[in-house]
Amino acid sequence: MGSGAKPSAAVPRHIGIIMDGNGRWATRRKLRRTLGHTRGIEAAKRIVREAIAQKIEYLSLYAFSTENWRRTEEEVSFILALVAKNLRSQYSFYRENNVCVRHSGNLEGLPCQVRDEIHRVTEETRANTAITVNLAVNYGGRDEIVRAANRALQSRQASCDTPPTQDDLLLTEETIQSHLDLPDLPDPDLIIRTGGHRRLSNFLIWESAYAELYFSNRFWPEWTGKDLRKAIHDFGSRKRNFGGTG
Ligand code: IPE
Ligand code: IPE
Ligand code: MG
């Protein structure tokens, strides 16, 4: 480093985004909430492009939560159909931008059309290397932890020839971690929530134990590359301790 040069600020390896505010963006314009979701897809594409430009390795996008089933049937089916349609129609976007798509969440609860598209696109984009985009669809942090714990217990029992002792059956952080939906992903360094609310709404509960949090009042359909750059810049000024001394 030349004299006078500042050390470059830390860049998050993994960013998670709670893409909130689609409905309010639309209703404030006297439009249907569903149009807000459609515009939200455009925002997601802008942000994936910017994340690649900023050399972010992993981007987790919260698209539909395990609690979002509480919405009207019309809105739920609209969102799920939009997800399925875009997984299919955005294939050239993934190819041109070299995006590897992964999924986290409970596949079993999803309509088979959505499940099929998720399987297809994750398979077809597997070898892409510019960024890994984790789409959280029918995702809930608590649901993920419970499924991980159950898978950990089942694999323990299956691997025991002799009856397991009490100690064999004890779970550790490592066994739960290794049975999460995407155990190979590093924990998110930065969680962004758009749309003005300051809560996690069951997003990456286990993984965000030490994430930095960033809240923006702008609704998701309004988000541009500039907003992401601002969040990354803010992250660069934070001092992380991970429980150690500062
Ligand atoms: C986030 O936007 C998208 C989903 C939850 C699918 P909302 O639909 O929650 O928008 P607001 O919060 O009602 O404005
Ligand atoms: C979180 O937003 C879920 C997604 C962005 C997919 P919500 O709008 O569902 O969160 P709450 O209900 O306001 O906490
Ligand atoms: Mg919301």
Domain 11-140+187-235 in this protein, CATH class? alpha beta
- Cβ(203) – ligand 1 distance below 6 Å: no
> pTM of this prediction?
0.95
Q: Cα Rg for the chain, rounded, in angstroms?
A: 19
Check: CB of residue 103 under 8 Å from CB of residue 60. no
The reported pLDDT for the residue numbered 86 is 96
The reported pLDDT for the residue numbered 151 is 96
Ligand nearest to the CA of 204: 2
Q: Binding residue per annotation — 24?
A: yes
Tell me the domain boundaries of the chain: 11-140+187-235
Range with the lowest mean pLDDT among 2-11, 57-66, 133-142, 159-168? 2-11
For CA atoms 94, 221, 225, 68, give the dihedral sign: negative
Beta-strand ranges (E) seen in the chain are 14-18, 58-65, 99-104, 131-139, 190-193, 212-215
Phi-psi region of 93 (alpha: psi -120 to 50; beta: other; left: phi over 0): alpha
pLDDT score of 174 more than 70: yes
Kindly list the distances between the CA atom of residue 150 and the CA atoms of 39, 65, 147, in Å, as whole numbers in the listed order. 38, 20, 5
Q: Binding residue per annotation — 77?
A: no
In sequence order, which residues have a C-beta less than 8 Å from that of residue 147 and are 6 or more positions away?
Answer: 106, 179, 181
Q: Binding residue per annotation — 134?
A: no
20 belongs to the catalytic site: yes
As a whole number, mean pLDDT of residues 59-83 equals 98
68 belongs to the catalytic site: yes
- Cβ(132) – ligand 1 distance below 6 Å: no
The reported pLDDT for the residue numbered 7 is 63
Q: Burial of 174 by CB count in 10 Å (0-12 exposed, 13-18 middle, 19+ buried)?
A: exposed
Over residues 20-38, the pLDDT tens digits come to 999 999 999 999 999 999 9
Cα–Cα dist 165/160, whole Å: 10
Ligand nearest to the CA of 199: 2
Amino acid making up residue 52: I
- Cβ(23) – ligand 1 distance below 6 Å: yes
- Cβ(18) – ligand 2 distance below 6 Å: yes
The reported pLDDT for the residue numbered 246 is 79
pLDDT score of 1 more than 60: no
Structure-token pair, residue 113 = 């059309």
The reported pLDDT for the residue numbered 160 is 65
The reported pLDDT for the residue numbered 162 is 75
Q: Compute, in angstroms, the gap from residue 235 CA to the centroid of ligand 3.
A: 24
The reported pLDDT for the residue numbered 168 is 73
pLDDT score of 203 more than 70: yes
For CA atoms 62, 68, 73, 75, give the dihedral sign: negative
Looking at every residue in the chain, the average pLDDT score rounds to 94
